[in-house]
Amino acid sequence: MNLSMNSFAHPENTSPINTDPRRLPGFVASLFPLANGAPPLASADPRNDEVVMTFLAAYYEINVRWTALCAVRGRAAEHSFLQEERAALQAIEAALRERDELEDRYAPFGIIAEPIMEDGLARDIQFTFGSVNPAGRFRAEPVVSSATLSFQVPKKNRRSGVKPPGPLPANAVTIFPCAD
């Protein structure tokens, strides 16, 4: 298993917002947000591309549903307005929940997607990928260090029969010198 700083778990994607909406019938290009100020491009890491497209698809769905709500509100005089508005609001809520689930799934890996909104629509999504830039390069070299601490426990503080929990590490003589 690769545990580089750029790796993240590959969570199961059961969301219907898992595909590139640009390939779907009825796609409205003006509702598809940009990624970091530009159309989504291939990066050095295909996993980043997948995450970017998943978030863009989620925000596209929110934009589509917001536009539908605005259209319903434009027909406020109609008899079925309240029912249609309620259905449109529930659709937006469902899309927002899916977006929230994506945020919850990727936030532990340092992946953050912040929308730039304009007139209620997400026009651009700014992505942050933790310790790497969108091209998959480290922002800074990782620092790895270790330390070994050793100290004497005065005889008066030693307890007879005290053992540390669990097994000792393979190369350890004792973890607690105060344990007899």
Q: In this predicted structure, what is the pLDDT of residue 43?
A: 67
pLDDT digits (tens, 9 = 90+) for 106-148: 998 888 999 999 999 999 999 888 766 655 566 666 667 777 7
Amino acid at 175: I
Distance (Å, rounded) from C-alpha 89 to C-alpha 58? 16
Per cent of the chain over pLDDT 90 is 43
Q: In this predicted structure, what is the pLDDT of residue 5?
A: 36
Which residue in 150, 132, 149 sits closest to 141, CA to CA? Answer: 132
Higher pLDDT, 180 or 40: 40
The pLDDT of 2-31, averaged and rounded, is 61
The pLDDT of 21-42, averaged and rounded, is 90
Q: Residue ranges of the domains in the chain? A: 16-129
Distance (Å, rounded) from C-alpha 56 to C-alpha 62? 10
3-state SS assignment for residue 142: coil
> Per-residue confidence at 6, pLDDT binned at 50, 70, 90?
very low
Q: Which two tokens stand for residue 21?
A: 């909406």
